[in-house]
Amino acid sequence: MAFAGDDSYHGVDDTRVARIAAAITVFPGFPKPGISFHDVTGIFHKPEVFRDAIGLFVERYKGKGVTLVAGIEARGFFFAPTIALELGAKFVPLRKPRKLPGEVISEEYSLEYGTDRIEMHVGAVEPNDRAIIVDDLIATGGTLSAAKRAGAEVVECACVIELQELKGREKLGKIPVFVLVETN
């Protein structure tokens, strides 16, 4: 695995990224043959590694006027609320279909292994919100590109892992994607 190498990495303590990468386990053939599943749950087994990941995201967005942190169900929920709390921003869940009780905005998308839909409550985004969208991983970019259509000004998408071979960031057009760990 390589580590993200954009400008934001000047001065960042790389040992944090190395610890995060070491806590990710790859399961070949899950959930079906041909897929190598990158599992982030090991990050949460070590509170100091969880803190490393949250710290890297918070350092990037502090002082950038972010008012809304959207997290994608389910694994975006592992990270997004804590980042929102640290930034003093609101957390908005982007949920799988038929989970939210109120009126929703709904977007369908295709995945590396199927299709799905995400939904957000109407009214969760206010006109002047500046959002980041958080997920554990970007693969094809289908999920994040549906999320970006949800209505806020999206400053950036933030993920722990990028599967570079799938070129997901191309699907996001002008919206930048910040990742901690790049791999294939």
Ligand X SMILES: Nc1ncnc2[nH]cnc12
Q: Which of 19, 112, 117, 130 is catalytic?
A: 112
Judged by CB under 6 A, the chain residues 162 through 181 that form the site for ligand X are 163
Q: Taking Cα atoms as reference points, which of 75, 84, 122, 80 lies closest to residue 101?
A: 122
Does residue 35 belong to the site contacting ligand X (CB under 6 A)?
Answer: yes
Q: Taking Cα atoms as reference points, which of 71, 78, 54, 43 lies closest to residue 150?
A: 71
Please report how close the Cβ of residue 99 comes to ligand X at its closest, in angstroms.
Answer: 19
Give the residues lining the site for ligand PRP (CB under 6 A). Answer: 72-75, 111-112, 116, 135-143, 168
> In terms of CB distance, is 80 or 84 closer to ligand PRP?
80
Residues in Cβ contact with 55 at an 8 Å cutoff, skipping those fewer than 6 apart: 16
Contact 78, 40 (CB under 8 A): yes
Residue 74's binding partner among ligand X, ligand PRP, none (Cβ under 5 to 8 angstroms by kind) is ligand PRP
Residues in Cβ contact with 60 at an 8 Å cutoff, skipping those fewer than 6 apart: 8, 158, 178
- Tell me which of 72, 139, 159, 180 binds ligand X, using CB under 6 A: 139
Q: Is there a catalytic annotation at residue 103?
A: no
Residue 9's binding partner among ligand PRP, ligand X, none (Cβ under 5 to 8 angstroms by kind) is none
Q: Taking the mean position of all CA atoms in its chain, how far away is CA 11?
A: 23
Q: Taking the mean position of all CA atoms in its chain, how far away is CA 131?
A: 12
Q: Is there a catalytic annotation at residue 73?
A: no
Does residue 92 belong to the site contacting ligand X (CB under 6 A)?
Answer: no
Q: What is the rounded distance in angstroms from the CA atom of residue 49 to the CA atom of residue 59?
A: 15
Residues with a catalytic annotation lie at 75, 112
Site residues for ligand X per CB under 6 A: 35-38, 112, 137, 139, 163
